[in-house]
Structure 1
Amino acid sequence: MDDIAKQADEMETLNAIYGSDWNMGSGGERGHSIEISHGTTIVNLCFTIPKDYPSKAPPIFEMSAPTLNKDEKEKIYKALNEVFAENLGEIMLFQCIEKVREMIGIYEPDVNVPGHSAVLQTPESIVLFEESVECPLIIHGETIEDRKSYFQAHVAVLRCEEQVKVVLNTLKKEPKIAEATHNILAWRFGTHRDYDDDGEKAAGSRLLHLLELLNLNNVIVVVSRWYGGILLGSNRFRHINNAARQALVQAGMINQ
């Protein structure tokens, strides 16, 4: 896939994730922008995309953040340059946006974002009482197929955080789901939230952001992906989000 095709896929993915927050075409012919806000903090990022991005050149960005002081802005500039260095040759706009979201406090410290999911580090009390926690009704969405890869979402309403582990374990009792290449997870309950990429880098955080955009709480979404041997590029994130949306519609949690 050439640079132009990768750019088009990335724009489609970002538009699916951030919706109207992602403004395509502002700031110049190849410029795109997004406003990131948390409390009284507002950060505007504008990206100019070189024709040879991502293979040879990183995006060029400008930042406007009137509520941040000089030191805070410098920390963000430094962090974004580190993202550039870590992702040379790869698309990176999502990583840049999520890094800023993290730094201005959108993700609370106990949320464990980014990083290893707390779902895999369940406290002893949850493990001990897991058998006494009832598994909620799990709705299984339709399967999406693309070049021999398959995606299917599973959603449920949570009545307590302990059910996160119960839902995941219940799903993995199904041989087909247990054998999936990735079982990507995101959940929100009250003020707590978390995700697990399960080896599909950045997929869990995208799924969590989808729940936040839809303002869904007390819900868990797991998207199973069976890899078919053909790389899908950023299309895989679009399929993960679309599978999740379809399952949420099927469960009656959102409108079509």
Structure 2
Amino acid sequence: MRILENIITDRGSKYAVSGGPCTSEEEAKALVKELTRKKKFAKATHHSWGVITNGTQIKNDDGESGAGMVILRMLEREGLQDHAVIVTRWYGGKHLGGDRFRHVQDAVRIYLDYLTAK
């Protein structure tokens, strides 16, 4: 699993993005579980994720309403299948409103750019 930490900070909230090969909802949940074994990630407020496998879109907002769909749209646009992307947020005490969707989108873009640079 690839983990890119401290990529976005806004009004106290911090974001990280992670991902790895994945072909099912169970595998995606296992990736999140692996991620939360790290103490820092276990304390995060949200782990939103999405994966497209066998033409099926699977997502989990983890309390960050709409974040999973943002991730899926970007994976679909990129044509990336069988690879889960997880956006982690540590809530900083102030509501971000619509900016949180922009941050999720930016986090996924950073991850996708990282993948293509490798």
Instruction: Return the TM-score normalized by structure 1.
Output: 0.43
Q: Deviations over 1:103-140 (max 9, x none)?
A: xxxxxxxxxxxxxxxxxxxxxxxxxxxxxxxxxxx111
**Structure 1 vs Structure 2: percent identity of aligned residues?**
34
1:183 aligns with 2:44: no
1:172 aligned partner: 36
> What's the RMSD between the two structures over aligned residues?
1.5
Q: 1:223 aligns with which of 74, 87, 109?
A: 87
RCO comparison, higher one (Cα < 8 Å, 6+): 2
Distance 1:212 1:250 in 2: 17
1:197 aligns with 2:36: no
CA drift at 1:175: 1.5
Distance 2:15 2:79 in 1: 23
1:140 aligned partner: 3
2:19 aligned partner: 155
CA drift at 1:242: 0.6
Name structure 2 gaps, 5 residues minimum: none
CA drift at 1:251: 2.4
CA drift at 1:230: 1.3
2:113 aligned partner: 249
CA drift at 1:165: 2.6
Aligned pairs for 1:44-193 within 5 A: 138-142=1-5, 143-158=7-22, 160-161=23-24, 162-193=26-57
Name structure 1 gaps, 5 residues minimum: 1-137
Equivalenced residues, count: 115
Q: Deviations over 1:56-86 (max 9, x none)?
A: xxxxxxxxxxxxxxxxxxxxxxxxxxxxxxx
CA drift at 1:231: 1.4
Instruction: Return the TM-score normalized by structure 2.
Output: 0.88
Structure with a larger share of its residues in strand: 2
